[in-house]
Every structure is written in C-alpha cells, then in structure tokens.
Structure 1
Amino acid sequence: MRAAHLRAVRLFNRRRRLVAVVLAALATACVGLAVRPAPTVAVLAAARDLHAGPLAPSDLAAVRLPEEAVPDGALRPGARVAGRVLATPARRGEPITDLRMLGPALVDAYGPGLLAAPIRVTDAAAARLLRPGDVIDVIASASPSWDDAPPAAGAAPYPRAATVAQAVTVIALPRAASSDSPEAAMTESGALVVLAATPDQATRLAQAGTTAQLSITIHGNHN
C-alpha cells in the first residue's frame, strides 16, 4: 500500500513539472505576442505645415501608421501628387485623404450632382473672411466698362446688381502655386474661391465672371 502511494506521488510530481513547463512556455509565447509590433501601413502625410493650394511632391512624405489608425481614403506612396490642389490647410504630420484634395471625392461629399466652380471675388479682403464649409450668395455687379461699352448685340447683361448663385458652399480657397502665403492669391484683381455648385449655378457663375464683378454675402450659422 505504501509503495503504491509513493508511485502515485512520484507520478503526480512528474506531471506537475510537465504542466509547469507547458504553462511557462505559454506565458513566454503570450509575452512575445504582446511585445510584437502591430502591423503598420505607409501613407502620405504633410511634410510641414501646408497652406491650401497646389502641391509639390516635396510637400508630402511617407509615414507608417498602425492599420487601425489609417483614415479612409488616405493617399498612399506612389499616388500622383504634383499639381493636385489641397483644399484646406494641413498640419505637419497629418495624413492626407482624398477629401482634403480638390477633386471628385471632395465635391461629392457636399451632395450628388455638384460641380467644383471656381470664381474670382473682386474684394479680396471679403474673401479672407471665408473658410471651407461657409455658405454664401454670389452677387454680380455691373463693371464700369458696361457704361462705356455696351454688350454685343443679342447679349443679355446682368442688371446693376443681381444674385447669380444662392446658398453655395465654399470648398477651397487655393493660393497661387508660386506664392509663399495664402494672401498671395488674394490680390487687387480679386481672390480665387472654389464653390460646390449645381450645373446651372456653375454656368451662371461662369457667365457672370466674364462680364461682371463678383461679390459675396455670407450666410449665418443656423444650426
């Protein structure tokens, strides 16, 4: 009886050591998994603080982010960058997505069937008040030349002042490609503003821009 008891004790001890070895191996494996770096993805981010406007390849740099931190639509290394227009300023290190670039994805975000309509607002100081997302009305005013040189026969000039587009949204305030500051695109000849407009609004804005001076009124926040 005593011999059987001793054999049972020795068997239990051997198995206990085996279980301890297995548990230690599992613990080591778990530690290894815990310290293993998470998978990362390369994306393009602002290489420095950027103004809105045309981009050069040196404006963006590749960075690696954890997979779960990569925003939808993030630009990847190898994407065409030169000449594309950044719609809003970006901070250094900020990943750049398709919605930050002037293009179909950005315009579609404001609603179906809209176009990106660039206009030049005569009063550059007024345009400096604008930010992407602002809702404005665009007013065409007769230029001084109309008094001296009437429009060609058959043309239908705007009256002295008329609203040519109502409740259109500002989507970009690009600067000139060769300028160092956003104000450089807002000169005495006016400021470039890009709007999300319906095809009919875009046509009226284009017609007014060739024959009139354009000014704006800014809608209040009714949220």
Structure 2
Amino acid sequence: MPYEPAPPGPRRPNVTHRNLSPSWADRLSEFAHPGWGRTVIVRRILAAGLTALAVLLLVRGNPDFDRSPVVVAVRDLEPGRALTDEDVDLAEWESGTLPEGVVTAVADVAGRTLAGPVRAGEPLTDVRVLGPRLAAVAADVEDARIVPIRLADPAVTELLREGDRVDVLTVDSQTPVNPDRQPGATVLATRAAVVLVTPSANGRDQRERVVMLALPAPEAITVAAASLTNAITVTFH
C-alpha cells in the first residue's frame, strides 16, 4: 500500500503577544503610529486646549496692543515754529510702541516752539519743544534754563546746529589785559548746548537770528544778563 501523508491540521492564528514590559522605544513607536481612535482623541484635546487659551487671552487682553491717544504732526514742520491746532492732531497708537515722554494732549504743545524738524505723522515728545524737559536733557542737569542770545558775528550763527556744544564769551572793551590795549575776553559759560537756531526767513536781517542755549541755571542767568549790554560770541567744542 503506497504511503500517504497525513492531511494538515487547522492553521493556528498568528497571535502577537504584547510585551508586558515595553521599552521606551516601543512606547514611542506606539505614540508615533496611533490608531484612528487615539488620533481623534488627541485632536479633540488639542482643540479644547487651544480654545481655552484663546478665551484666556481674550479675557486678559494684551497690553502691547492697547491703544492710546498721542499728539502727532499733521504735516512736515520746521524748527522754530510755534505750534497751533492746525499743526497737530490726536492719533491712536499701540501703547507698546510709544516713545518715552510722548505728549497726549494738544493743549500741552499749543503755542510751544519746536526745537527741531518733525515729519508728518510723527508723535511729539516733551523734548521736541522748548521747555524744562528739553533744557534738563540738553544741559544734562535738572536745574537748567534755555537762554536766547544774538551773536555779534552773524556768520557764526550760520555755522551753528542743534546739538552743538559751545563756550559763551563776551568782550569787555573797558578792561585792557595787555600792553597792546586789546580788550579781554570773559568766559561766561562752558559746554552750553545749542537747542535751536531760528531759521533765516526771507527778508530777515541775519543779525536778528536767535540762538537758544541750554545751560545750568546760574550760568544761564549770567549769559542772559551779559547779552543785554555786551557783545556775545561762542567757541565750538
């Protein structure tokens, strides 16, 4: 009788046994390839978290995006101009972008003199107009004053620019200091800060141009008094 092999038995299902002590690599692999159900759950959790964060930000607000009224120039303005209501207006700016000392009321600059040029749309600060704050910053002392003077030589006025540092001198023609009987020079103040040189208007005598100097209060008084009777000049630093 010929040999016949026994028929095969039923196939056993391929069962994968879960490792009862999975390694970190196994856990990361499961997290990186989640099932459809787990993916839906993760998405819902993320969506709920983002919604809660948006609500929290809405309730708290962001101070950087709060807006405040500030005074801005409505046109290009030249130095030496006395500001009027037609020169400035209020505009809303983000609070986080405002410079220090920004002016928030038109009345605070009405009639004040600009110490430098201002572009249209530029916010005005307390050091852009002649006043105590500009004097203190320019002279680098709290007790400072701004003194207007006219120089004996108009050509020197043409050379001055805002921000220059100068010494202020006067000449006493009654007090000769050498055998040649040349008048002596007296230094009235040192390192005065030029904050404004009035512009040269058409038809204006160059000798009428005024130089504004920021000085500590005692020196400012000395310069102001001497300018009433003596010729004044400056030397550059």
TM bucket (normalised to shorter chain) is 0.5 to 0.7
Query: In the alignment, which residue of structure 1 is the partner of 2:131?
Result: 103
> How many aligned residue pairs are there?
187
Structure 1: tracts of 5 or more residues without a match: 1-11, 147-158, 176-181
Give the TM-score normalised by the residue count of structure 2: 0.64
Q: Provide the secondary structure at the position in 1 that maps to 2:220.
A: helix
Query: In the alignment, which residue of structure 1 is the partner of 2:11?
Result: none
- Greater CA radius of gyration, 1 or 2? 2
Shift of 1:74: 0.2
Query: In the alignment, which residue of structure 1 is the partner of 2:190?
Result: 167
- Over 3 Å counting, the alpha-carbon distance change for 1:46 and 1:171 in structure 2 is farther
Contact 2:83 2:113 in 1 (8 A): yes
Give the TM-score normalised by the residue count of structure 1: 0.68
Listed as ranges, the matches of 1:191-206 within 5 Å are 191-206=209-224
Match among 81, 97, 101 for residue 69 of structure 1? 97
Shift of 1:135: 1.1
C-alpha separation in 1, matches of 2:123 and 2:40: 53
Contact 1:116 1:197 in 2 (8 A): yes
C-alpha separation in 2, matches of 1:57 and 1:128: 31
Q: Does 1:56 pair with 2:73? A: no
Q: Does 1:115 pair with 2:145? A: yes
- Over 3 Å counting, the alpha-carbon distance change for 1:29 and 1:214 in structure 2 is same
Q: Does 1:216 pair with 2:223? A: no
C-alpha separation in 1, matches of 2:166 and 2:94: 40
Greater RCO (Cα-Cα under 8 Å, separation 6 or more):
1
C-alpha separation in 2, matches of 1:81 and 1:198: 24
Query: In the alignment, which residue of structure 1 is the partner of 2:65?
Result: 38
What is the aligned-residue RMSD (CA, Å)? Answer: 3.4
- Over 3 Å counting, the alpha-carbon distance change for 1:161 and 1:206 in structure 2 is farther
Contact 2:161 2:197 in 1 (8 A): no
Structure 2: tracts of 5 or more residues without a match: 1-34, 175-181
- Over 3 Å counting, the alpha-carbon distance change for 1:126 and 1:174 in structure 2 is closer
Shift of 1:98: 0.7
Amino acid at match of 1:214: I
Query: In the alignment, which residue of structure 1 is the partner of 2:200?
Result: 183
Identity %: 35
